[in-house]
Structure 1
Amino acid sequence: MLNERQQMSLSKLMSKILRHSPQDFGLSLDEGDGSCAIEDLLNILRKEARWSALGLEDIEQIVRNCEKQRFEITGGRIRARYGHSHDKLSYPMAEPPTVLYHGTNNKAAPVILEEGIRPMKRQYVHLSAGLHFATLAGKRRGELVILAVDTVKAVSWGVSFYYAGNEVWLADGIPSECCSIFDNSSGG
């Protein structure tokens, strides 16, 4: 069983491999869903002396305990759910809740309210059905600002939404007209 520090370190390495640069580690991901055999990932991780004794249960611990639920295991295969910077993965189009949330910071919020939410260096804009993941994403860089996205309006503007699992929703972009600052002062 990995301790908390080991979990964080391994999770970051898995993100690097599965989300950003699989080719740097000699890993080929499935073009359709971005997955690979867990054994393939384990073999790559075990090449590093620090992780030479790594087992399947350690990978499962990371997947289970990752607060942002970045990974999923299905049928002996593992993939990063979202955030890829390599080949664009496809997700099923779905009807989102009427409001989704986007965590950002006080410097980026005015720009977003003027220009909309853009994926920047990511494949998609990341949104969440609840405040928890939006808060986790937004508090990393400065004072937290939560934006509410009116999905009904966004759909009327031609935005398609994709469900990535575990409250995470993706879109190619969100027009500024569909965004507003979320005011939680009333408790909800």
Structure 2
Amino acid sequence: MLNAGAEVSLSKFMTKILRHTPEEYGIILDPEDGSCLLEELLDVLTAAPKWAGITEADVRRTVANSEKQRFAIEGERIRARYGHSHTKVAYPPGEPPALLYHGTHRAALPVILREGLKPMGRQYVHLSEGLHFASLVGRRRGELVLLAVDTVKSADSGVTFYYAGNEVWLAGAVPADCIAELENAEN
């Protein structure tokens, strides 16, 4: 059984494989959903000396325990939930709650309030139904700022929202007039 630190490290390695460079590891992802057989991923993982002793149960626990819930296991297949670099993952459009949240850092705020939220090298802007995931993302780069996105106004402006699972929604660019800073983000 892996400890929490090892699970985080394994999760990062799995992210590299499933989201960024699957072909580098000989993994061919299903073009429809971005998945591969869990057994294929396990073969790649155990070929790395650091992970030679892990089991399928370790991978399943890592997926289940991941705070950011970046992966989904469905039957015998595994996929990254969002953010693939190699191919645009398609999700069906959905109707999100009236407000979604985005975490960022203070230095980015003036540009966001002027130009809106943009994917910035990703395929989509990542938004969440609750403040927890938004806070996790925003804290990574400095002083946390939480933003609320008015999804009704955004949809009226032409933004389409896609549900990626686990309270995460994806969208293209979100106009600045649909975004408001939340007060007391750290509380």
Per the normalisation by structure 1, the TM-score is 0.96
| Aligned equivalents of 2:92, 2:75: Cα separation in 1 | 19
For 1:159, the equivalent position in structure 2 comes to 159
| Aligned equivalents of 2:165, 2:183: Cα separation in 1 | 26
- Counterpart AA for 2:5: R
Instruction: Point out where structure 2 has 5 or more consecutive residues left out of the alignment.
Output: none
| Aligned equivalents of 1:113, 1:54: Cα separation in 2 | 45
Q: Secondary structure of the equivalent of 1:180?
A: strand
Equivalenced residue count is 186
Displacement of 1:86 in angstroms is 1.2
Displacement of 1:49 in angstroms is 1.5
Q: Secondary structure of the equivalent of 1:79?
A: strand
1:118 aligns with 2:156: no
CA deviation string 1:96-147 (max 9, x = no partner): 0000000000000110010010001111000000000000000000100001
Displacement of 1:184 in angstroms is 4.7
| Aligned equivalents of 1:62, 1:139: Cα separation in 2 | 22
For 1:32, the equivalent position in structure 2 comes to 32
Q: Secondary structure of the equivalent of 1:23?
A: helix
1:72 aligns with 2:72: yes
For 2:11, the equivalent position in structure 1 comes to 11
Instruction: Write out aligned runs for 1:7-156 (5 A).
Output: 7-156=7-156
Instruction: Point out where structure 1 has 5 or more consecutive residues left out of the alignment.
Output: none
Displacement of 1:36 in angstroms is 0.3
Q: CA RMSD in A?
A: 1.1
- Counterpart AA for 1:28: I
CA deviation string 1:27-58 (max 9, x = no partner): 11011110000000000111112211221101
Displacement of 1:172 in angstroms is 1.1
Q: Secondary structure of the equivalent of 1:140?
A: helix
| Aligned equivalents of 1:149, 1:83: Cα separation in 2 | 20
**Seq. identity, %:** 59
For 1:169, the equivalent position in structure 2 comes to 169
Q: Secondary structure of the equivalent of 2:28?
A: coil
| Aligned equivalents of 1:146, 1:14: Cα separation in 2 | 28
